[in-house]
Amino acid sequence: MQQSYSKRMPPRRPGPGGAKGWWRGRFKGCGYRFTVPRQVILDTLNRTSKHLSAEDIYLAVHRTCPNIGLTTVYRTLELLVQMGLVFKFDFGDGRARYELSRETHPRGHCYLVCINCRRVINADDFREKETERIKQIEETIAKRYNFRVRNQITQFYGLCGKCSQERTEDE
Protein backbone atom coordinates (compact mmCIF):
# COMPACT_ATOMS: atom_id res chain seq x y z
CA MET A 1 0.00 0.00 0.00
CA GLN A 2 2.44 2.59 1.20
CA GLN A 3 5.07 3.28 -1.39
CA SER A 4 8.70 4.03 -0.78
CA TYR A 5 9.51 7.60 0.10
CA SER A 6 11.64 8.02 -2.94
CA LYS A 7 9.36 8.68 -5.90
CA ARG A 8 9.82 10.82 -8.93
CA MET A 9 8.11 14.20 -8.62
CA PRO A 10 6.05 15.92 -11.31
CA PRO A 11 7.15 19.49 -12.07
CA ARG A 12 6.47 21.91 -9.23
CA ARG A 13 3.90 23.98 -11.18
CA PRO A 14 0.30 24.63 -10.17
CA GLY A 15 -0.91 23.45 -13.59
CA PRO A 16 -4.58 23.44 -14.63
CA GLY A 17 -6.90 23.29 -11.65
CA GLY A 18 -4.63 25.32 -9.36
CA ALA A 19 -3.16 23.79 -6.25
CA LYS A 20 -5.81 21.10 -6.24
CA GLY A 21 -4.87 20.01 -9.74
CA TRP A 22 -1.22 19.92 -8.82
CA TRP A 23 -1.91 17.85 -5.72
CA ARG A 24 -4.00 15.41 -7.76
CA GLY A 25 -1.11 15.05 -10.16
CA ARG A 26 1.31 14.39 -7.34
CA PHE A 27 -0.94 11.71 -5.93
CA LYS A 28 -1.55 10.02 -9.24
CA GLY A 29 2.15 10.21 -10.00
CA CYS A 30 2.88 8.31 -6.81
CA GLY A 31 0.14 5.76 -7.48
CA TYR A 32 -2.14 7.10 -4.76
CA ARG A 33 -5.80 7.99 -4.99
CA PHE A 34 -6.81 11.60 -4.55
CA THR A 35 -9.71 11.05 -2.20
CA VAL A 36 -12.08 13.49 -0.56
CA PRO A 37 -10.47 13.28 2.90
CA ARG A 38 -7.06 13.93 1.40
CA GLN A 39 -8.36 16.95 -0.49
CA VAL A 40 -10.07 18.40 2.54
CA ILE A 41 -7.03 17.91 4.77
CA LEU A 42 -4.77 19.55 2.21
CA ASP A 43 -7.27 22.41 1.84
CA THR A 44 -7.26 22.93 5.59
CA LEU A 45 -3.49 23.08 5.71
CA ASN A 46 -3.49 25.38 2.70
CA ARG A 47 -5.86 27.82 4.35
CA THR A 48 -3.55 28.64 7.26
CA SER A 49 0.08 29.43 7.86
CA LYS A 50 -0.06 28.12 11.41
CA HIS A 51 1.45 24.88 12.60
CA LEU A 52 -1.56 22.67 13.30
CA SER A 53 -1.71 19.55 15.40
CA ALA A 54 -3.47 16.44 14.11
CA GLU A 55 -6.39 17.22 16.35
CA ASP A 56 -6.57 20.84 15.17
CA ILE A 57 -6.85 19.52 11.64
CA TYR A 58 -9.37 16.90 12.65
CA LEU A 59 -11.60 19.50 14.28
CA ALA A 60 -11.34 21.90 11.34
CA VAL A 61 -12.06 19.13 8.86
CA HIS A 62 -14.84 17.82 11.01
CA ARG A 63 -16.86 21.00 10.54
CA THR A 64 -17.24 20.41 6.81
CA CYS A 65 -17.00 16.63 6.73
CA PRO A 66 -18.10 15.16 10.05
CA ASN A 67 -17.56 11.68 8.70
CA ILE A 68 -13.80 11.98 8.38
CA GLY A 69 -12.16 10.20 11.28
CA LEU A 70 -9.10 11.08 13.30
CA THR A 71 -7.42 7.92 12.06
CA THR A 72 -7.64 9.14 8.50
CA VAL A 73 -6.19 12.48 9.50
CA TYR A 74 -3.16 10.76 11.00
CA ARG A 75 -2.77 8.43 8.05
CA THR A 76 -3.09 11.23 5.54
CA LEU A 77 -0.62 13.42 7.37
CA GLU A 78 1.90 10.62 7.45
CA LEU A 79 1.46 10.14 3.73
CA LEU A 80 1.78 13.86 3.02
CA VAL A 81 4.98 14.02 5.03
CA GLN A 82 6.30 11.02 3.10
CA MET A 83 5.43 12.76 -0.16
CA GLY A 84 7.19 15.91 0.96
CA LEU A 85 4.01 18.01 0.71
CA VAL A 86 3.86 18.61 4.44
CA PHE A 87 6.44 19.18 7.17
CA LYS A 88 6.13 17.67 10.60
CA PHE A 89 7.51 19.45 13.64
CA ASP A 90 7.88 18.76 17.29
CA PHE A 91 8.07 21.51 19.86
CA GLY A 92 8.32 19.19 22.82
CA ASP A 93 4.77 19.54 24.07
CA GLY A 94 3.87 15.96 23.26
CA ARG A 95 1.98 16.55 20.04
CA ALA A 96 3.31 16.87 16.52
CA ARG A 97 2.57 19.92 14.37
CA TYR A 98 2.07 19.97 10.64
CA GLU A 99 2.58 22.67 8.06
CA LEU A 100 2.06 22.68 4.32
CA SER A 101 5.29 22.91 2.38
CA ARG A 102 4.98 26.03 0.22
CA GLU A 103 7.29 26.84 -2.63
CA THR A 104 7.04 30.50 -1.71
CA HIS A 105 9.26 30.30 1.34
CA PRO A 106 12.58 28.52 1.47
CA ARG A 107 12.56 25.06 2.95
CA GLY A 108 13.68 26.02 6.38
CA HIS A 109 11.80 27.14 9.43
CA CYS A 110 12.64 29.09 12.50
CA TYR A 111 10.70 28.98 15.72
CA LEU A 112 11.00 30.48 19.16
CA VAL A 113 9.65 28.15 21.83
CA CYS A 114 9.02 29.49 25.32
CA ILE A 115 10.17 26.94 27.86
CA ASN A 116 7.88 28.43 30.46
CA CYS A 117 4.49 29.01 28.83
CA ARG A 118 5.06 26.71 25.81
CA ARG A 119 4.10 29.41 23.35
CA VAL A 120 5.57 28.98 19.87
CA ILE A 121 6.50 32.06 17.87
CA ASN A 122 7.01 31.72 14.16
CA ALA A 123 10.18 33.55 13.18
CA ASP A 124 10.32 32.51 9.54
CA ASP A 125 10.33 36.13 8.40
CA PHE A 126 13.62 36.56 10.13
CA ARG A 127 14.94 33.41 8.64
CA GLU A 128 14.35 34.58 5.10
CA LYS A 129 17.34 36.90 5.22
CA GLU A 130 19.50 33.93 6.06
CA THR A 131 18.55 31.98 2.96
CA GLU A 132 21.94 32.32 1.31
CA ARG A 133 23.70 31.30 4.45
CA ILE A 134 21.51 28.26 4.92
CA LYS A 135 22.18 27.18 1.37
CA GLN A 136 25.91 27.26 2.07
CA ILE A 137 25.48 25.30 5.27
CA GLU A 138 23.39 22.69 3.49
CA GLU A 139 26.10 22.28 0.87
CA THR A 140 28.76 21.83 3.50
CA ILE A 141 26.67 19.25 5.27
CA ALA A 142 25.93 17.43 2.05
CA LYS A 143 29.65 17.13 1.40
CA ARG A 144 30.92 16.43 4.86
CA TYR A 145 28.26 14.01 6.00
CA ASN A 146 27.06 12.73 2.64
CA PHE A 147 23.60 13.84 3.63
CA ARG A 148 20.87 15.18 1.35
CA VAL A 149 19.03 17.96 3.17
CA ARG A 150 15.32 18.09 2.47
CA ASN A 151 14.11 20.37 5.19
CA GLN A 152 15.61 22.31 8.00
CA ILE A 153 14.33 23.62 11.27
CA THR A 154 15.90 25.89 13.83
CA GLN A 155 14.36 26.21 17.25
CA PHE A 156 15.36 28.74 19.85
CA TYR A 157 14.30 27.70 23.32
CA GLY A 158 14.07 30.39 25.93
CA LEU A 159 11.77 32.82 27.67
CA CYS A 160 9.24 34.88 25.76
CA GLY A 161 8.68 38.51 26.60
CA LYS A 162 5.94 37.87 29.12
CA CYS A 163 7.66 35.02 30.96
CA SER A 164 10.98 36.85 30.86
CA GLN A 165 9.30 39.75 32.66
CA GLU A 166 7.86 37.48 35.35
CA ARG A 167 11.34 36.13 35.89
CA THR A 168 12.77 39.57 36.48
CA GLU A 169 10.07 40.33 39.05
CA ASP A 170 11.05 37.12 40.90
CA GLU A 171 14.51 38.35 41.72
Q: Please report, as ranges, the residues that interact with a second copy according to CB under 8 A.
A: 4-6, 8, 88, 90-92, 96, 112, 114-116, 121, 123, 126, 130, 133, 137-138, 140-141, 144-161, 164, 166-167, 170-171
In terms of Cα–Cα distance, which of 141, 154, 76 is closest to 110? Answer: 154
Helix axes 18-30, 36-46, angle to 10 degrees: 130
166 binds, among a second copy, DNA, none (CB under 5 to 8 A by kind): a second copy
| H helix or E strand, kind and range, residue 144 | helix 131-145
CB 101 within 8 A of CB 85: yes
Q: Which amino acid is at 49?
A: S
CB 53 within 8 A of CB 97: yes
State the nearest-atom distance from the C-beta of 147 to a second copy, in Å: 5
**Residue closer to a second copy, measured from CB, 48 or 93:** 93
**Residue closer to DNA, measured from CB, 72 or 108:** 72
Which residues sit at the interface with DNA, rule CB under 7 A?
Answer: 1, 27-28, 32-38, 53-55, 65, 67-72, 74-76, 78, 94-96
